[in-house]
Amino acid sequence: MNRLFATISIAAAFAAGCGATHLLRPALAAENITAQIIHLPDLVGDALSPASPTGFRSRMLMSADGATISLQDGNVPKHLHANANEIQYILEGTGTIWLGDKEVQVKPGDLVIIPKGTPAPGRTAGHSGRSQSRRRRRRRTIPGC
């Protein structure tokens, strides 16, 4: 009797798993992206973008399904994105950024994860980047995640 019960239980669990797979919506990949290779070291100065009055440069590299990936050089004032998470990868330059209510040190190779509604990044007070108090970073913004 126990063997029959175990066999029926396993078969029912398997059938329930198969049924649930067809009922759940699968994750969908972005529809409109293009295969490409972008050599980031080539994107300097005006090849990245014209400088803003504060010397900040930025170029969006890709945008799909509410997410963007951009390359930025320079500093932006402290700000927040109310509906977007932000991920920054520091390529070169060192300094201090705001992350919420505290200042943190960043250096090349750091991955900065900024949840939506968190004040960041603010001006750096660093050195050893392209010029004093500048960072070069790759940024990804993901609304609503």
10, part of any domain: no
Bridge partner list, 96:
105
Nearest C-alpha neighbor of 61 from the set 143, 145, 144, 140: 140
Count of structural domains, the chain: 1
What is the arithmetic mean of pLDDT over 12-21? 63
pTM of the predicted model as reported, rounded to 2 decimal places: 0.63
Report whether pLDDT(125) > 50.
Answer: no
Residue 56, domain CATH: 2.60.120.10
Residues 72 and 100: beta-carbon distance below 8 Å: no
Cα separations in angstroms, 116 against 3, 33, 99, 100, 119: 53, 25, 11, 10, 9
Q: Is the pLDDT of residue 128 over 50?
A: no
Q: Is residue 56 part of a domain?
A: yes
**Most confident among 22-36, 68-82, 117-131 (mean pLDDT):** 68-82
Higher pLDDT, 70 or 5: 70
Dist. CA 80–CA 68, nearest whole Å: 16
Any domain includes 15: no
Mean pLDDT computed over 106-116 = 88
* 134 vs 85: which has the higher pLDDT: 85
Phi, psi of 72 (to 5 degrees): -130, 145
Structural contact between residues 123 and 93, judged by C-beta atoms closer than 8 angstroms? no
Q: Which domain holds residue 87?
A: 40-143
C-alpha of 130 from chain center = 22
Domain annotation covers residue 31: no
